[in-house]
Amino acid sequence: MKRLAGLLALLLFVFPSLVWAMSVAFINPGKSDEAYWLTATKAMEAAAKDLDIRFEVFYAERQHPRVFELARQIVARPVADRPDYVVITNDYATGPELLRLFDAAGIKTFLAYSGISEPVERAVTGQPREHFKGWLGSLEPRAQEAGYLTAKALIQQGRRAQAQAADGRLHFLAISGDRSTPASNRRGEGMRRAVAEAGDVVLEQEIFSGWNRAKAAEQSEWLFQRYPLARLVWAGNDQMAFGAMQVWEKRGGKPGKDAWFSAVNASPEAMAALKSGRLAALAGGHFICGAWALVMLYDYDHGRDFAEGEGVEVNQSMFTLFSQKDADRFMVRFGQLHFDQVNFRRFSKALNPKLKRYDFNFRQLLD
């Protein structure tokens, strides 16, 4: 017995992470083969490896009721098998119910990518650590930036290409994600701000295609017929942009030549389209938000609560407007979804006591 105790003590000394490693589960709202959400997971896996976090991911496969099934499966585990923390999103306004489920089970939660913003949701949830004591906080990219940067760049390209109609104005179509996800609404707000500032742009119509390529293509069939003067097409993600481009090409058009499209996301397909000129504007890098969330949870778990100095609900600039050179650099560094070259430990306040504020902008990982 003494020999066994001595062996256990030696193991704890040599491999403390075997016992003390924190554990995190991520309920991913996307599909397991979807470029954006797969990239988000790969970045989180790299951060977890750097920080000695035991990490697991569950995909809802874009079926938002499934996030509740996954949550109940986690809650139903024996207490010893439950994760210490669960990272969730508020896609399709699922956040409040997820917070309720996990809080009732005593499992700490953290919202990433999309937080609680609508007044009706806030009435249910309150602030982090208030009504739901285990809801530690949230981290969101400034989604307005993505909408604003891409719309502004798209408008500038339209002017350079002299894409105005006979009335001297640029006619503009918008394809947004959905009406209930905060990030979708904020991208739309940013887009509308760029249009309002322009002064020479007509926003003909904004539609919602559920982030889906096929649905965007289906809706674009009648959208292009309804607005024949439109030559600028803004999309809230890359898949919807590609759906619209597909229809334009089927009509005999040439994206980048007689109509101009923008998108959000750093997928290889989007990078290739930017380099070829088929996309006029592309913003992305926000997939890294989940990895940054793990850094914040690591600090909290190791006694450096992010609430001190940052607050419990953090909104940071993460989007980069990619140039063609940026696209080349991104593909060389991250095109194979290898994020091991990023040292996530250097962003931790617990590991770097002199660090006062988080800097989560994606640009620093490219430069």
DSSP 319-366: -EE--HHHHHHHHHHHTT---TTS-GGGG-TTT-TT--S----THHHH
Distance CA 29, CA 141 (A): 17
Low-confidence winner among 14-18, 51-55, 323-327, 328-332 (lowest mean pLDDT): 14-18
- Tell me, yes or no, whether 12 lies in a domain: no
We report the CATH number of the domain holding residue 321 as 3.40.50.2300
Q: Within a domain: residue 239?
A: yes
Whether 215 has a pLDDT exceeding 60, the answer reads: yes
In a domain, 161, yes or no: yes
Answer yes or no: do 249 and 294 share one domain. Answer: no
Q: Are residues 192 and 299 in the same domain?
A: no
- Measured at the CA of 117, the angle between CA 69 and CA 210, to 5 degrees, comes to 60
CB 245 within 8 A of CB 185: no
Q: How far is CA 216 from CA 206, 220, 224, 242, 248, in A?
A: 12, 6, 12, 8, 12
Question: What is the reported pLDDT for 12?
Answer: 43
Express each pLDDT in 133-186 by its tens digit. 999 999 999 999 999 999 999 999 999 999 999 999 999 999 999 998 889 999
In a domain, 209, yes or no: yes
* Among 197, 231, 264, residue at a domain's last position: 264
Q: Are residues 149 and 134 in the same domain?
A: no
Token digits of residue 349: 């306040």
Residue at 101 is within a domain: yes
**Model-level pTM?**
0.89
The confidence band for 105, taking pLDDT boundaries of 50, 70 and 90, is very high
Does residue 107 sit within a domain? yes
Contact 287, 320 (CB under 8 A): no
Q: How many domains does the chain have?
A: 2
CA–CA gap between residue 344 and residue 148 (Å, rounded): 29
Computed over every residue of the chain, the mean pLDDT equals: 94
Q: Return the structure tokens found at 326.
A: 């940026």
Residue 252 counted as domain residue: yes
Range of 210's domain? Answer: 144-264
Q: Above 80 in pLDDT, residue 13? A: no
- What tokens appear for 294 in the block? 């793990």
Asked whether the beta carbons of 84 and 108 are under 8 A apart, the reply is yes
- Strand pairing category for 135-141 and 313-316: parallel
Of 264, 296, 316, the last residue of a domain is 264
